[in-house]
DNA sequence: ACAAATATGAACCATTCGGTCAATCTATTA
DNA sequence: TAATAGATTGACCGAATGGTTCATATTTGT
Protein backbone atom coordinates (compact mmCIF):
# COMPACT_ATOMS: atom_id res chain seq x y z
CA UNK A 1 0.00 0.00 0.00
CA UNK A 2 3.02 2.27 0.21
CA UNK A 3 2.51 3.01 -3.42
CA UNK A 4 -1.00 4.46 -3.28
CA UNK A 5 0.24 7.16 -0.92
CA UNK A 6 2.62 8.50 -3.51
CA UNK A 7 -0.27 8.94 -5.91
CA UNK A 8 -2.11 11.32 -3.57
CA UNK A 9 1.15 13.05 -2.80
CA UNK A 10 2.05 13.56 -6.46
CA UNK A 11 -1.39 14.86 -7.32
CA UNK A 12 -1.19 17.48 -4.57
CA UNK A 13 2.38 18.29 -5.54
CA UNK A 14 1.53 18.85 -9.20
CA UNK A 15 -1.61 20.82 -8.39
CA UNK A 16 0.51 23.18 -6.29
CA UNK A 17 3.08 23.44 -9.09
CA UNK A 18 0.33 24.23 -11.58
CA UNK A 19 -0.97 26.92 -9.26
CA UNK A 20 2.50 28.48 -8.99
CA UNK A 21 2.79 28.44 -12.77
CA UNK A 22 -0.65 30.00 -13.05
CA UNK A 23 0.43 32.83 -10.76
CA UNK A 24 3.67 33.44 -12.61
CA UNK A 25 2.75 32.93 -16.24
CA UNK A 26 -1.01 33.42 -16.47
CA UNK A 27 -3.57 31.17 -18.08
CA UNK A 28 -2.18 30.75 -21.58
CA UNK A 29 1.40 30.97 -20.34
CA UNK A 30 0.85 27.87 -18.24
CA UNK A 31 1.68 24.83 -20.38
CA UNK A 32 2.13 21.25 -19.31
CA UNK A 33 5.84 21.63 -19.95
CA UNK A 34 6.00 24.64 -17.66
CA UNK A 35 4.13 22.87 -14.86
CA UNK A 36 6.39 19.84 -15.23
CA UNK A 37 9.47 22.05 -15.06
CA UNK A 38 8.04 23.79 -11.97
CA UNK A 39 7.58 20.39 -10.32
CA UNK A 40 10.94 19.11 -11.54
CA UNK A 41 9.51 16.12 -13.38
CA UNK A 42 8.65 15.16 -16.93
CA UNK A 43 5.59 16.37 -18.77
CA UNK A 44 4.46 12.77 -19.31
CA UNK A 45 4.55 12.09 -15.60
CA UNK A 46 2.26 15.02 -14.88
CA UNK A 47 -0.19 13.62 -17.40
CA UNK A 48 0.15 10.24 -15.72
CA UNK A 49 -1.60 11.66 -12.65
CA UNK A 50 -3.95 14.07 -14.43
CA UNK A 51 -5.58 12.77 -17.56
CA UNK A 52 -5.78 16.23 -19.13
CA UNK A 53 -4.55 19.76 -18.72
CA UNK A 54 -8.02 20.92 -17.79
CA UNK A 55 -8.20 18.39 -14.94
CA UNK A 56 -4.80 19.57 -13.74
CA UNK A 57 -5.77 23.23 -13.72
CA UNK A 58 -9.08 22.51 -12.06
CA UNK A 59 -7.18 20.69 -9.30
CA UNK A 60 -4.79 23.62 -9.05
CA UNK A 61 -7.66 26.03 -8.47
CA UNK A 62 -9.36 23.73 -5.99
CA UNK A 63 -6.04 23.65 -4.16
CA UNK A 64 -5.82 27.45 -4.13
CA UNK A 65 -9.44 27.73 -3.06
CA UNK A 66 -8.86 25.32 -0.20
CA UNK A 67 -5.91 27.44 0.86
CA UNK A 68 -8.09 30.56 1.10
CA UNK A 69 -10.88 28.58 2.72
CA UNK A 70 -8.59 27.52 5.56
CA UNK A 71 -7.84 31.17 6.23
CA UNK A 72 -11.53 32.10 6.13
CA UNK A 73 -12.52 29.33 8.50
CA UNK A 74 -9.87 30.32 11.02
CA UNK A 75 -10.96 33.95 11.08
CA UNK A 76 -14.69 33.24 11.07
CA UNK A 77 -14.14 30.79 13.90
CA UNK A 78 -12.94 33.65 16.07
CA UNK A 79 -15.83 35.95 15.20
CA UNK A 80 -18.40 36.20 18.00
CA UNK A 81 -20.90 38.73 16.64
CA UNK A 82 -22.48 39.43 13.24
CA UNK A 83 -20.37 42.56 12.87
CA UNK A 84 -17.24 40.58 13.62
CA UNK A 85 -18.24 38.02 11.02
CA UNK A 86 -18.54 40.78 8.41
CA UNK A 87 -15.09 42.09 9.27
CA UNK A 88 -13.75 38.53 9.25
CA UNK A 89 -14.71 38.33 5.59
CA UNK A 90 -13.04 41.68 4.93
CA UNK A 91 -9.80 40.70 6.64
CA UNK A 92 -9.76 37.29 4.97
CA UNK A 93 -9.75 38.96 1.58
CA UNK A 94 -7.01 41.34 2.66
CA UNK A 95 -4.79 38.79 4.37
CA UNK A 96 -1.13 38.77 3.28
CA UNK A 97 -1.50 35.25 1.93
CA UNK A 98 -4.34 36.28 -0.39
CA UNK A 99 -3.82 39.94 -1.16
CA UNK A 100 -0.76 39.63 -3.39
CA UNK A 101 -0.33 40.44 -7.07
CA UNK A 102 0.70 36.85 -7.85
CA UNK A 103 -2.42 35.42 -6.28
CA UNK A 104 -4.57 38.04 -7.97
CA UNK A 105 -2.94 37.16 -11.31
CA UNK A 106 -4.03 33.56 -10.94
CA UNK A 107 -7.52 34.67 -10.01
CA UNK A 108 -7.84 37.02 -13.00
CA UNK A 109 -6.60 34.23 -15.25
CA UNK A 110 -9.34 32.08 -13.78
CA UNK A 111 -11.93 34.75 -14.55
CA UNK A 112 -10.65 35.17 -18.09
CA UNK A 113 -11.03 31.44 -18.66
CA UNK A 114 -14.54 31.16 -17.26
CA UNK A 115 -16.34 31.62 -20.60
CA UNK A 116 -14.28 28.89 -22.24
CA UNK A 117 -13.41 26.37 -19.52
CA UNK A 118 -16.45 24.79 -17.86
CA UNK A 119 -14.41 23.65 -14.86
CA UNK A 120 -13.44 27.25 -14.12
CA UNK A 121 -17.07 28.26 -14.20
CA UNK A 122 -17.99 25.71 -11.56
CA UNK A 123 -15.15 26.77 -9.26
CA UNK A 124 -16.02 30.42 -9.64
CA UNK A 125 -19.66 29.70 -8.82
CA UNK A 126 -18.63 27.93 -5.63
CA UNK A 127 -16.39 30.80 -4.58
CA UNK A 128 -19.14 33.37 -5.06
CA UNK A 129 -21.70 31.24 -3.26
CA UNK A 130 -19.45 30.94 -0.25
CA UNK A 131 -18.68 34.65 -0.20
CA UNK A 132 -22.36 35.50 -0.37
CA UNK A 133 -23.41 33.07 2.35
CA UNK A 134 -20.61 34.30 4.62
CA UNK A 135 -21.78 37.88 4.20
CA UNK A 136 -25.53 37.75 3.96
CA UNK A 137 -25.95 35.76 7.18
CA UNK A 138 -24.51 38.34 9.54
CA UNK A 139 -25.85 41.26 7.49
CA UNK A 140 -29.42 39.96 7.73
CA UNK A 141 -29.28 40.25 11.48
CA UNK A 142 -28.10 43.85 11.20
CA UNK A 143 -30.20 45.25 8.36
CA UNK A 144 -33.51 44.90 6.56
CA UNK A 145 -33.50 42.00 4.12
CA UNK A 146 -33.26 44.25 1.07
CA UNK A 147 -30.32 46.27 2.39
CA UNK A 148 -28.55 43.11 3.53
CA UNK A 149 -28.75 41.63 0.05
CA UNK A 150 -27.61 44.87 -1.58
CA UNK A 151 -24.69 45.37 0.79
CA UNK A 152 -23.63 41.74 0.43
CA UNK A 153 -23.57 42.06 -3.35
CA UNK A 154 -21.81 45.39 -3.16
CA UNK A 155 -19.12 44.05 -0.85
CA UNK A 156 -18.54 41.19 -3.26
CA UNK A 157 -18.19 43.49 -6.26
CA UNK A 158 -15.91 45.83 -4.31
CA UNK A 159 -13.69 42.92 -3.28
CA UNK A 160 -13.59 41.81 -6.92
CA UNK A 161 -12.57 45.29 -8.01
CA UNK A 162 -9.90 45.51 -5.32
CA UNK A 163 -8.40 42.15 -6.24
CA UNK A 164 -8.42 43.12 -9.89
CA UNK A 165 -6.52 46.31 -9.14
CA UNK A 166 -4.16 44.31 -6.96
CA UNK A 167 -3.49 42.00 -9.88
CA UNK A 168 -2.91 44.82 -12.33
CA UNK A 169 -0.76 46.60 -9.75
CA UNK A 170 -0.48 49.62 -12.02
CA UNK A 171 -0.77 51.78 -8.96
CA UNK A 172 0.45 50.19 -5.77
CA UNK A 173 -2.92 49.62 -4.11
CA UNK A 174 -1.96 49.11 -0.47
CA UNK A 175 -3.81 46.91 1.96
CA UNK A 176 -4.68 50.03 3.97
CA UNK A 177 -6.22 51.79 0.97
CA UNK A 178 -8.20 48.68 0.13
CA UNK A 179 -9.41 48.42 3.70
CA UNK A 180 -10.50 52.07 3.63
CA UNK A 181 -12.51 51.41 0.48
CA UNK A 182 -14.33 48.42 1.95
CA UNK A 183 -14.96 50.40 5.11
CA UNK A 184 -16.55 53.13 2.99
CA UNK A 185 -18.76 50.51 1.31
CA UNK A 186 -20.06 49.47 4.71
CA UNK A 187 -20.71 53.16 5.46
CA UNK A 188 -23.28 53.10 2.69
CA UNK A 189 -25.75 51.11 4.77
CA UNK A 190 -24.24 50.23 8.13
CA UNK A 191 -24.54 53.01 10.73
CA UNK A 192 -21.37 54.00 12.52
CA UNK A 193 -21.30 52.73 16.07
CA UNK A 194 -19.03 51.82 18.94
CA UNK A 195 -19.63 48.10 18.38
CA UNK A 196 -18.73 48.42 14.72
CA UNK A 197 -15.42 50.09 15.50
CA UNK A 198 -14.73 47.49 18.19
CA UNK A 199 -15.56 44.62 15.84
CA UNK A 200 -13.27 46.06 13.17
CA UNK A 201 -10.39 46.48 15.59
CA UNK A 202 -10.81 43.03 17.07
CA UNK A 203 -10.91 41.16 13.76
CA UNK A 204 -7.95 43.16 12.53
CA UNK A 205 -6.08 42.07 15.63
CA UNK A 206 -7.18 38.45 15.27
CA UNK A 207 -6.03 38.48 11.64
CA UNK A 208 -2.67 39.91 12.68
CA UNK A 209 -2.20 37.19 15.30
CA UNK A 210 -3.19 34.40 12.93
CA UNK A 211 -0.80 35.63 10.25
CA UNK A 212 2.06 35.78 12.70
CA UNK A 213 1.21 32.32 14.07
CA UNK A 214 1.06 30.83 10.58
CA UNK A 215 4.69 31.69 9.92
CA UNK B 1 -2.68 59.89 -52.72
CA UNK B 2 -5.86 57.85 -52.81
CA UNK B 3 -3.76 54.94 -51.70
CA UNK B 4 -2.89 56.12 -48.23
CA UNK B 5 -6.58 56.31 -47.47
CA UNK B 6 -7.00 52.60 -47.94
CA UNK B 7 -4.18 51.98 -45.51
CA UNK B 8 -5.93 53.92 -42.74
CA UNK B 9 -9.19 52.24 -43.66
CA UNK B 10 -7.73 48.74 -43.55
CA UNK B 11 -6.00 49.37 -40.25
CA UNK B 12 -9.27 50.48 -38.67
CA UNK B 13 -11.11 47.60 -40.29
CA UNK B 14 -8.67 44.98 -38.99
CA UNK B 15 -8.50 46.57 -35.55
CA UNK B 16 -12.27 46.26 -35.34
CA UNK B 17 -12.09 42.65 -36.53
CA UNK B 18 -9.43 41.89 -33.92
CA UNK B 19 -11.66 43.43 -31.26
CA UNK B 20 -14.57 41.27 -32.33
CA UNK B 21 -12.34 38.20 -32.18
CA UNK B 22 -11.12 39.26 -28.74
CA UNK B 23 -14.69 39.47 -27.52
CA UNK B 24 -15.64 36.09 -28.93
CA UNK B 25 -12.56 33.97 -28.35
CA UNK B 26 -10.57 35.67 -25.57
CA UNK B 27 -6.93 36.61 -25.52
CA UNK B 28 -5.22 33.34 -26.43
CA UNK B 29 -8.12 32.25 -28.62
CA UNK B 30 -7.48 35.22 -30.89
CA UNK B 31 -4.97 34.20 -33.55
CA UNK B 32 -3.95 36.04 -36.68
CA UNK B 33 -5.82 33.46 -38.71
CA UNK B 34 -8.98 34.07 -36.71
CA UNK B 35 -8.74 37.84 -37.11
CA UNK B 36 -8.12 37.43 -40.82
CA UNK B 37 -11.15 35.17 -41.12
CA UNK B 38 -13.22 37.71 -39.17
CA UNK B 39 -12.17 40.43 -41.59
CA UNK B 40 -12.62 38.17 -44.61
CA UNK B 41 -9.05 38.54 -45.82
CA UNK B 42 -5.83 36.57 -45.67
CA UNK B 43 -3.61 36.29 -42.65
CA UNK B 44 -0.70 37.82 -44.51
CA UNK B 45 -2.74 40.81 -45.42
CA UNK B 46 -3.49 41.55 -41.79
CA UNK B 47 0.20 41.28 -41.01
CA UNK B 48 0.90 43.63 -43.90
CA UNK B 49 -0.79 46.44 -42.01
CA UNK B 50 0.29 45.45 -38.50
CA UNK B 51 3.85 44.30 -38.15
CA UNK B 52 3.04 41.99 -35.26
CA UNK B 53 0.16 40.43 -33.42
CA UNK B 54 0.85 42.57 -30.39
CA UNK B 55 0.59 45.76 -32.46
CA UNK B 56 -2.69 44.50 -33.91
CA UNK B 57 -4.22 43.75 -30.52
CA UNK B 58 -3.02 47.06 -29.11
CA UNK B 59 -4.75 48.81 -31.99
CA UNK B 60 -7.86 46.74 -31.35
CA UNK B 61 -8.00 47.89 -27.75
CA UNK B 62 -7.33 51.50 -28.68
CA UNK B 63 -10.24 51.18 -31.09
CA UNK B 64 -12.50 49.79 -28.36
CA UNK B 65 -11.35 52.46 -25.97
CA UNK B 66 -12.09 55.17 -28.51
CA UNK B 67 -15.56 53.67 -28.93
CA UNK B 68 -16.26 54.01 -25.21
CA UNK B 69 -14.66 57.44 -25.16
CA UNK B 70 -17.07 58.72 -27.77
CA UNK B 71 -19.96 57.61 -25.58
CA UNK B 72 -18.41 59.25 -22.51
CA UNK B 73 -17.82 62.53 -24.31
CA UNK B 74 -21.40 62.65 -25.56
CA UNK B 75 -22.84 62.11 -22.11
CA UNK B 76 -20.41 64.39 -20.30
CA UNK B 77 -21.14 67.07 -22.87
CA UNK B 78 -24.74 67.12 -21.74
CA UNK B 79 -23.88 67.30 -18.04
CA UNK B 80 -24.40 70.78 -16.58
CA UNK B 81 -23.57 70.28 -12.90
CA UNK B 82 -20.95 68.31 -10.95
CA UNK B 83 -23.58 65.82 -9.83
CA UNK B 84 -24.68 65.33 -13.41
CA UNK B 85 -21.08 64.73 -14.41
CA UNK B 86 -20.81 61.98 -11.80
CA UNK B 87 -23.94 60.30 -13.08
CA UNK B 88 -22.70 60.74 -16.63
CA UNK B 89 -19.74 58.51 -15.72
CA UNK B 90 -22.10 55.98 -14.14
CA UNK B 91 -24.41 55.83 -17.16
CA UNK B 92 -21.48 55.65 -19.57
CA UNK B 93 -20.27 52.49 -17.87
CA UNK B 94 -23.78 51.02 -17.92
CA UNK B 95 -24.65 51.97 -21.48
CA UNK B 96 -25.96 49.12 -23.64
CA UNK B 97 -22.97 49.45 -25.95
CA UNK B 98 -20.53 48.84 -23.09
CA UNK B 99 -22.37 46.79 -20.54
CA UNK B 100 -22.44 43.50 -22.43
CA UNK B 101 -20.81 40.16 -21.61
CA UNK B 102 -18.91 40.19 -24.91
CA UNK B 103 -17.40 43.59 -24.22
CA UNK B 104 -16.62 42.60 -20.66
CA UNK B 105 -14.89 39.44 -21.95
CA UNK B 106 -12.56 41.52 -24.05
CA UNK B 107 -11.86 43.79 -21.12
CA UNK B 108 -11.10 40.89 -18.76
CA UNK B 109 -8.80 39.41 -21.39
CA UNK B 110 -7.06 42.77 -21.49
CA UNK B 111 -6.65 42.74 -17.70
CA UNK B 112 -5.34 39.18 -17.74
CA UNK B 113 -2.71 40.20 -20.30
CA UNK B 114 -1.55 43.32 -18.46
CA UNK B 115 1.30 41.62 -16.54
CA UNK B 116 2.72 40.10 -19.71
CA UNK B 117 1.94 42.53 -22.53
CA UNK B 118 3.43 46.00 -22.02
CA UNK B 119 1.07 47.54 -24.57
CA UNK B 120 -1.92 46.37 -22.55
CA UNK B 121 -0.46 47.96 -19.45
CA UNK B 122 -0.22 51.34 -21.15
CA UNK B 123 -3.79 51.20 -22.41
CA UNK B 124 -5.11 50.17 -19.02
CA UNK B 125 -3.23 53.04 -17.38
CA UNK B 126 -4.82 55.51 -19.79
CA UNK B 127 -8.31 54.13 -19.13
CA UNK B 128 -7.91 54.44 -15.37
CA UNK B 129 -6.45 57.93 -15.61
CA UNK B 130 -9.42 59.10 -17.64
CA UNK B 131 -11.92 57.50 -15.31
CA UNK B 132 -10.28 59.11 -12.31
CA UNK B 133 -10.08 62.57 -13.86
CA UNK B 134 -13.71 62.36 -14.97
CA UNK B 135 -14.80 61.49 -11.43
CA UNK B 136 -12.52 63.44 -9.15
CA UNK B 137 -13.21 66.79 -10.80
CA UNK B 138 -16.93 66.95 -10.04
CA UNK B 139 -16.51 65.16 -6.70
CA UNK B 140 -14.02 67.73 -5.48
CA UNK B 141 -16.60 70.45 -5.82
CA UNK B 142 -19.06 68.40 -3.76
CA UNK B 143 -16.90 66.91 -1.01
CA UNK B 144 -13.76 67.49 1.03
CA UNK B 145 -10.61 66.56 -0.88
CA UNK B 146 -10.07 63.35 1.06
CA UNK B 147 -13.61 62.07 0.59
CA UNK B 148 -13.56 63.00 -3.07
CA UNK B 149 -10.44 60.92 -3.65
CA UNK B 150 -11.82 57.98 -1.70
CA UNK B 151 -15.17 58.02 -3.44
CA UNK B 152 -13.53 58.36 -6.84
CA UNK B 153 -11.35 55.32 -6.17
CA UNK B 154 -14.27 53.39 -4.76
CA UNK B 155 -16.46 54.14 -7.77
CA UNK B 156 -13.68 52.90 -10.02
CA UNK B 157 -13.27 49.64 -8.10
CA UNK B 158 -17.03 49.11 -7.97
CA UNK B 159 -17.27 49.63 -11.73
CA UNK B 160 -14.42 47.15 -12.20
CA UNK B 161 -16.21 44.61 -10.05
CA UNK B 162 -19.47 45.12 -11.89
CA UNK B 163 -17.86 44.70 -15.29
CA UNK B 164 -16.08 41.58 -14.09
CA UNK B 165 -19.35 40.06 -12.96
CA UNK B 166 -20.92 41.08 -16.24
CA UNK B 167 -18.15 39.22 -18.05
CA UNK B 168 -18.49 36.09 -15.96
CA UNK B 169 -22.29 36.31 -16.28
CA UNK B 170 -22.69 33.42 -13.85
CA UNK B 171 -25.63 35.24 -12.42
CA UNK B 172 -27.43 37.54 -14.79
CA UNK B 173 -26.31 40.86 -13.31
CA UNK B 174 -28.85 43.27 -14.76
CA UNK B 175 -28.16 46.88 -15.59
CA UNK B 176 -30.66 47.87 -12.90
CA UNK B 177 -28.92 45.85 -10.20
CA UNK B 178 -25.57 47.32 -11.23
CA UNK B 179 -27.03 50.83 -11.11
CA UNK B 180 -28.42 50.18 -7.62
CA UNK B 181 -24.97 49.08 -6.46
CA UNK B 182 -23.26 52.20 -7.79
CA UNK B 183 -26.00 54.32 -6.28
CA UNK B 184 -25.29 52.68 -2.91
CA UNK B 185 -21.59 53.45 -3.31
CA UNK B 186 -22.45 57.12 -3.73
CA UNK B 187 -24.60 56.87 -0.60
CA UNK B 188 -21.41 56.18 1.35
CA UNK B 189 -20.29 59.79 1.11
CA UNK B 190 -22.75 61.82 -0.95
CA UNK B 191 -25.75 63.06 1.04
CA UNK B 192 -29.14 62.36 -0.41
CA UNK B 193 -30.72 65.46 -1.89
CA UNK B 194 -33.25 66.70 -4.38
CA UNK B 195 -30.51 67.83 -6.77
CA UNK B 196 -28.89 64.40 -6.63
CA UNK B 197 -32.10 62.65 -7.55
CA UNK B 198 -32.73 65.18 -10.29
CA UNK B 199 -29.20 64.76 -11.67
CA UNK B 200 -29.59 60.99 -11.69
CA UNK B 201 -32.91 61.11 -13.48
CA UNK B 202 -31.70 63.62 -16.04
CA UNK B 203 -28.52 61.73 -17.00
CA UNK B 204 -30.48 58.50 -17.18
CA UNK B 205 -32.84 60.23 -19.60
CA UNK B 206 -30.01 61.73 -21.61
CA UNK B 207 -28.36 58.32 -21.86
CA UNK B 208 -31.63 56.78 -23.03
CA UNK B 209 -32.04 59.43 -25.72
CA UNK B 210 -28.45 59.08 -26.93
CA UNK B 211 -28.72 55.31 -27.18
CA UNK B 212 -31.90 55.57 -29.20
CA UNK B 213 -30.39 58.24 -31.45
CA UNK B 214 -27.30 56.14 -32.07
CA UNK B 215 -29.32 53.36 -33.60
C1' DA C 1 0.43 53.14 -72.44
C1' DC C 2 3.81 51.76 -69.29
C1' DA C 3 6.86 51.33 -65.45
C1' DA C 4 6.93 51.95 -60.48
C1' DA C 5 4.63 51.30 -56.31
C1' DT C 6 1.57 48.97 -53.72
C1' DA C 7 -1.87 45.25 -52.35
C1' DT C 8 -2.73 40.57 -51.93
C1' DG C 9 -2.84 35.55 -50.91
C1' DA C 10 -0.95 30.73 -51.11
C1' DA C 11 2.53 28.13 -49.46
C1' DC C 12 5.90 27.71 -46.06
C1' DC C 13 8.90 27.94 -41.72
C1' DA C 14 10.19 26.99 -37.00
C1' DT C 15 8.11 26.50 -32.65
C1' DT C 16 4.96 25.10 -29.24
C1' DC C 17 0.89 23.03 -27.85
C1' DG C 18 -1.75 18.93 -25.48
C1' DG C 19 -1.53 14.30 -25.60
C1' DT C 20 0.11 9.12 -26.58
C1' DC C 21 3.09 5.23 -26.23
C1' DA C 22 6.42 1.87 -25.59
C1' DA C 23 10.26 1.28 -22.97
C1' DT C 24 12.67 1.57 -18.65
C1' DC C 25 13.28 1.83 -13.65
C1' DT C 26 11.92 0.76 -8.78
C1' DA C 27 9.96 -1.22 -4.95
C1' DT C 28 6.96 -4.44 -2.90
C1' DT C 29 5.64 -9.20 -2.43
C1' DA C 30 5.34 -14.18 -3.12
C1' DT D 1 15.41 -14.27 -5.82
C1' DA D 2 11.92 -13.77 -9.29
C1' DA D 3 7.72 -11.77 -10.56
C1' DT D 4 4.86 -8.04 -10.82
C1' DA D 5 2.50 -3.63 -10.32
C1' DG D 6 3.19 0.95 -10.36
C1' DA D 7 6.31 5.18 -11.32
C1' DT D 8 8.90 7.65 -14.63
C1' DT D 9 10.63 8.98 -18.85
C1' DG D 10 12.15 10.27 -23.78
C1' DA D 11 10.58 10.11 -28.22
C1' DC D 12 7.06 11.22 -30.95
C1' DC D 13 2.38 12.82 -33.07
C1' DG D 14 -0.96 15.96 -35.38
C1' DA D 15 -2.67 20.45 -34.92
C1' DA D 16 -2.19 25.19 -34.37
C1' DT D 17 0.62 29.11 -33.46
C1' DG D 18 3.17 33.74 -34.96
C1' DG D 19 5.68 35.13 -38.54
C1' DT D 20 8.04 35.13 -43.42
C1' DT D 21 8.60 34.70 -48.38
C1' DC D 22 7.52 35.42 -52.94
C1' DA D 23 4.97 35.44 -57.08
C1' DT D 24 0.98 37.65 -58.84
C1' DA D 25 -2.61 41.22 -59.33
C1' DT D 26 -3.97 46.02 -59.06
C1' DT D 27 -3.49 50.84 -58.91
C1' DT D 28 -0.78 55.00 -59.61
C1' DG D 29 1.91 58.83 -61.72
C1' DT D 30 3.80 60.09 -65.88
The 10 Å Cβ neighbour count of residue A101 is 17
CA distances (Å), origin A74, targets A93, A138, A179, B31 = 13, 17, 20, 45
Residue of A nearest to B25 (CA): A116
State the complex-level ipTM.
Answer: 0.89
Going residue by residue through chain A (215 aa), what tens digit of pLDDT does each one get? Answer: 334 567 888 899 999 999 999 999 988 899 999 999 999 999 999 999 999 999 999 999 999 888 888 989 999 999 999 999 999 999 999 999 889 999 999 999 889 988 888 888 888 899 999 999 999 999 999 999 999 999 999 999 999 999 999 999 888 899 999 999 999 999 999 999 999 999 999 999 999 999 998 87
Distance from CA of B20 to the nearest CA of A (A): 15
Contact by Cβ (8 Å): B99, B166 = yes
Q: Which residue of B has its CA nearest to A152?
A: B181
* Chain C bases near protein CB atoms (7 A cut-off): 6-11, 16-22, 27-29
Domains and CATH numbers, chain B: 61-214 (1.10.357.10)
Does the nearest atom of strand D lie within 7 Å of A157's Cβ? no
**Which of B157, B190, B192 would you mutate first to test chain A, the one with the most A CBs within 10 A?**
B157
Q: Which residue is nearest to nucleotide C20 (CA to C1')?
A: A44
Question: Whole-number Å distance, CA A20 to C1' D15?
Answer: 28
Amino acid sequence: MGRRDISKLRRAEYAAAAYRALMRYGNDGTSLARVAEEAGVSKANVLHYFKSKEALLAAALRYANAELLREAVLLLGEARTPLERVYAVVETNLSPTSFRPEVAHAWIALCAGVPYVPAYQRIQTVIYARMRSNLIGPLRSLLPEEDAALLSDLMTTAIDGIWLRCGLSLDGLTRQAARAQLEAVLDARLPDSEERRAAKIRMLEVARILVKARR
